[in-house]
Structure 1
């Protein structure tokens, strides 16, 4: 079957479902392309509606509107000015009125074209005789015949060479094919009750190296596993490791970011030392990492060891993220890549090609893929052309495919390749599980990923059980007997502290972010029980799903309207108002919403973080006028307004801030009170949160009164809401992550 052909100056590639003109590609539905292909095979002929329907949709009952829709898609793809390409014949059908060139015919006839050119030119040149050779009557016959032959051959070779060059040039206009990847095997490389994450291969491909975090014991260690023997080796003593590792080119050392062990007091949040580890020594006995670069106030992420021995990192500054280069030998860092506008989202380094790929947001708000050299020279820059399966504002985090001169990325349940020119192609995969952090084996034939659900439940706890004398909490008899599986009771009893809370909502997947309905009895929450994260409401007996967001949806923030009749949801970086009857109203957004913090429905304004030209800004957005004002230039994790309008901020250093006479003032009473959730709740001008010692506390903004209210179980992830008598919390049942390996089909 011919899979590539030209319609005028449009190149059609059926293997990629694309139409390309002048290096600009569009992805077209397969059925629409099938219509075009059948018309192309019958170019300049009228093809009836019935013939097209039976050819493209065999054994399927479809209406003529389906065909009309495909024709409209094709005309749009071929350009509004080229409507005459596909001509409508009323009550008859359609015809394709343009030259069609099939790629296989072009390739197969190239030799014949050269041969024909040689023959015609040779015969014509025999009649052309050089004067000097006619006059040379003394030359032997063989010489007299050979002289014209050399002239002819010279001219023939020039013509033939030109034709060959033209053919090569013509073929080079055809967009290069992105190699099609298909994975058909999956095997689990780690299988414990703990969290394994941030996995990488060693440069020789013999080991995987990963973090193993024991939640209950607050222990985080780095391990290696020999892929052949399956032997696991502990590489470090207790250490607060963070982020993925990167190996030196020779594989002898690895570098990563770290804090002190998590059983030591945290003085600075999100401030991590750059450390290294001797891999060979660690294989023999656990080693303590060596600090290369001590953290001060900078926010650093994702170190990568380059071939020249320097280390590249992402660094946040006031204008977003940039890349810096750190030299361990000189103990000096320099800017490697600072965008003139926008911000760096992510980057990847190819050891094989000594090349850096940067995913970046430009001033136009679009994400680009850019290639730079290790010295920071920009080699290419192209916008990423998104497929319909990828939401408009989703940030993409590509990595290198070492064999095929391309990149790839995951959106959760879907994998995609990304060409250096920004073209995206979906990868065929039979696996439907959510998997993240893809990284290829050095051979390019296998792929590491992380897999495993986060299982959390929602608990509703009377305040007096936390603040009173009895911390012994209980499960309600009704829910124990009617709605809770026996396994959920045993899962919740593993802590040394009382954690037998009454479960409000439970499945074996994530239930999260519960909020009381203002003036009502419902509780809104997020749940993955239907396969994707969706918005639900429950009265404690019956649950109702309000949304049906698409595959790989991510939700960052929900809040009730003050009248309790609807909620505002930040799904896929877009704000949507969802009513209790499941009807929705989407607000057009010029910028992606990173986090929704709060919705004041009375004046229809939202407090949120938006990404403007790649830089996160805290803004108050007027949903009626679709405009906003910036309310803080601080880099914060969480922010809320109190009932009397005071803006409270919680920053990356674990500090709380409130408005001051001139500038924000630090709330010193709350130093070191921020919890692992990096969020808080405000009710009646009082801040509530749970600290790292599992203590529920309050701070009254009116009289600066700080109180420890009581203690919660260590399986509590965070506080989500509170009213006069009860609080809502998310508890962690399990957060198992395991490293899996996908193999390419042969």
Structure 2
């Protein structure tokens, strides 16, 4: 256990020697006993500390007033800005104890020194002087080390956008005078806007709304390029759900003309049936972007003059997930996973030749980084799990210390010591509605009006998602981040109880009940966990880092996705032999199984099927089904039809049987059906704004 008197919990500095807590340059005096409780929790971070242990170590048998411990916890929550109903720092385990939910940064012990020699030196005095010199040298070494690795901080935050709309894709112009951003007009459609950072004037640049992503300037600042996603088979775009895109293209707009009046975009790279990510403009009408090449993601270059596409970087035994381009140095920074699931940073020249490659230190954090080249030094700005980092080209990451959370992306100003960032949160709830009944009229509303389309259960301000009925039982399992990060929770009809206590930050999107309803399978920290209803966990070792659990079939075993051979590759675990086998299909989001057929959906919402026990690698498309919102129940598919807004029933071949009922806007994503009830995820609020950070 650490004996230091000073430590950080998030951005709060706790100084036990002074009985103070400092946050955002404000210092609060706190009772010593209260901080002793906090210190004990910090020494056992991520572990439950019992009531008895706290009483014995903090009060040591002395008499205390009733509810002394509860009062201390309440005081700590107030000082740390925590909420007992939706805790993010201190978790309560009823009738057991408390748990610090976040990691602790312990600071080195400091010693005040002052020596007066009143007699000739003896051995004891010389020893004391020696110890003092060692302490001085240690302090000097620490100062030198801190100068070598400077602490990075955010000094202030300035709001740039002030609307209730959903903003994204913020980027500076090369001269730093303007800022681009996307502003949604519906849940998936947006316009591209520019803001003059000196005058504050905003200008809509696009003439028509669209499903736009990856907006950025060309290096000369004259034009804007972006990806546009659309359906090749239909032009209708519904007003309140994600587009089921199967076509991606690169578009361009002249910036000066668009400042005068919104413009229609010109197509630079014709619509393709494979996803295009993060396009950047190169010289001589060439463009770089990420896309699938074979079964793997690759960095590609397209020449618009001869219409030729070539591969720049497609390393073996690595899975590329993002990159950025520095037009000044003509270099690419590519991030990927290696075979062990570790992050790699590869620096390439203009022609895709590898300059050097280093492993990235993510400090135990899981998930994918978002990066942009820094304009201030030879490094990258990186965002991971809502936190901002300085990523050196040797792979070393240094966190920015600030009270700013929930960062989505960031880019440094080309000349000033500031950066622009997207900051935001998503609040979704779970509703249980009748499968049949009266036809309800859809309501019309814009985003962020704090309206619940249907009554929610287990309501909180965090994101609740992916609810599943318990087979052979009355429980409902769901994912919630109300305790600080994604965990599995159970709802018994009256209250929600946390089942899992995964210690490291890990996003969870799916899980599966066992067929008998007594266990759940979920991936956390890239490992398969089998949970029982008492909270016990069994970890099953997999040959590759895992992403999600998709299905648990009584005869076929557990279906999961993994990082390799490529992203979201489908694997099967045979529970009898404990052997994993892979399928020749990637980009898999969800699966459904009958005794004879495997159905799966891709991330664009398309659904496919193939015989279950077959060696074929061919998958038959099922265009009537919407993989973003689909349930298999009693040999029927129930899927949300985006054209009619209806929950619709289909047979196993995807043929329409009947329309059941309309679903309300922002409440269309069904996750399970049992008896005559449907579980669905509904959007309550989606807040995302542009902010400028002073560094």
TM-score interval w.r.t. the shorter chain? 0.7 to 0.9
Alignment pair present for 1:572 and 2:525: yes
Mapped partners of 1:700, 1:207: distance in 2: 53
Counterpart residue number, 2:151 = 180
Match of 1:200 in 2: 171
Matched, 1:638 2:611: no
Tell me the equivalent position of 2:428: 456
Q: Map of 1:690-701 to 2, 5 A cutoff?
A: 690-693=640-643, 694-701=645-652
TM-score, with normalisation over the residues of structure 1?
0.68
Instruction: Provide the residue aligned with 1:447 in structure 2.
Output: 419
The 2-side partners of 1:741 and 1:197 are apart by: 13
Q: Distance in 2 between matches of 1:321 and 1:261?
A: 22
Provide the rounded CA distance (Å) in 2 between the counterparts of 1:103 and 1:547.
42
SS in 1 for 2:509: strand
Which residue of structure 1 lines up, in the alignment, with residue 636 of structure 2?
686
Tell me the residue number matched to 2:245: 269
User: Equivalent residue of 1:586, what SS?
Assistant: strand
Q: Match for 2:679 among 725, 728, 737?
A: 728
Rg comparison, structure with higher value:
1
Does the Cα contact within 8 Å between 1:384 and 1:424 map onto a contact in 2? yes
Deviation at 1:503, TM superposition (A): 2.4
Q: Give 1:275 deviation, angstroms.
A: 0.5
- Checking the alignment, whether the CA contact within 8 Å between 1:365 and 1:614 is kept in structure 2 is no
Match of residue 223 from structure 2 = 253
The residue matched to 1:454 in structure 2 has which SS? strand
Distance 2:355 2:641 in 1: 47
RMSD: 3.8
| Structure-2 change in CA distance of 1:439 and 1:530 (3 Å) | same
Residue by residue, what CA displacement relative to the aligned partner does 1:601-640 show, whole Å, maximum 9, x if unpaired?
A: x569321111125544211023565531123425433222
Alignment of 1:547-586 (within 5 A): 547-550=500-503, 552-586=505-539
* C-alpha separation in 1, matches of 2:646 and 2:428: 20
1:280-299 counterparts in 2 under 5 A? 280-299=256-275
Change (3 A) 1:697 1:231: same
Query: Does the CA-based 8 Å contact 1:306-1:312 persist in structure 2?
Result: yes
SS of equivalent to 2:439: coil
Q: 1:524 aligns with which of 472, 477, 482?
A: 477
State whether residues 154 and 401 of structure 2, in contact with CA within 8 Å, keep that contact through their aligned partners in structure 1. yes
Runs (5+) with no aligned partner, structure 1: 1-57, 67-91, 107-170, 475-487, 494-498
Deviations 1:61-106 (A, max 9, x none): 99xx99xxxxxxxxxxxxxxxxxxxxxxxxx9xx99xx99979999
Change (3 A) 1:281 1:291: same
Counterpart among 459, 481, 486 of residue 533 in structure 1: 486
What does residue 658 of structure 1 align with? 609
Structure 2 partner of 1:407? 380
Shift of 1:425: 2.4
Alpha-carbon spacing, 1:726–1:663, altered in 2? closer, same or farther (3 Å): same
Correspondence 1:332-411 to 2 at 5 A: 332-388=308-364, 390-391=365-366, 394-411=367-384
Cα pair distance change 1:603/1:355, threshold 3 Å? same
Which of 573, 597, 600 is the matching residue for 1:621? 573
Residues 468, 477 of structure 2: 8 Å contact kept: yes
Counterpart of 1:492 (choices 420, 444, 451) is: 451
For residue 291 of structure 1, report the CA deviation from its aligned partner.
0.6
State how far apart, in whole Å, the 2-side matches of 1:574 and 1:198 are.
32
8 Å Cα contact 1:239/1:258 also seen in 2: no
Paired residues of 2:230 and 2:247 also in contact (CA < 8 A): no
Q: Which residue of 2 aligns with 1:711?
A: 662
* Alpha-carbon contact 1:685-1:702 (below 8 Å) kept: no
Question: For 1:190, which of 150, 158, 161 is the aligned residue?
Answer: 161
Q: State the distance in 1 between where 2:137 and 2:329 align.
A: 35
The question of whether the paired residues in 2 share the 8 Å contact of 1:459 and 1:505 is answered with no
SS in 2 for 1:708: strand
Report if aligned partners of 1:307, 1:351 keep a CA contact under 8 Å in 2. Answer: no
* Alpha-carbon shift at residue 223 of structure 1 (Å): 0.7
TM-score by length of 2: 0.73
Say whether 1:436 aligns with 2:389: no
**Which residue pairs with 1:606 in the alignment?**
558
1:648 to partner: Cα distance: 0.4
Q: Deviations over 1:5-39 (max 9, x none)?
A: xxxxxxxxxxxxxxxxxxxxxxxxxxxxxxxxxxx
Instruction: Using the TM superposition, name which of 515-524 and 609-618 deviates more.
Output: 609-618
What does 1:91-106 align with in structure 2 at a 5 Å threshold?
Answer: none
Residues 650-698 of structure 1, C-alpha deviations (whole Å, 9 max, x = no match): 2356543222587477666x424326x2x52212222221121322122
Match in the other structure for 1:12: none
| Residue 175 of structure 1, CA deviation | 13
Moved more, 718-727 or 704-713: 704-713
Question: Are residues 1:591 and 2:544 paired?
Answer: yes
* 2:460 aligned with 1:503: no
Partner of 1:737: 688
Alpha-carbon distance in 1 for matches of 2:229, 2:350: 28
Residues 528-557 of structure 1, C-alpha deviations (whole Å, 9 max, x = no match): 223322221112321112233346431121
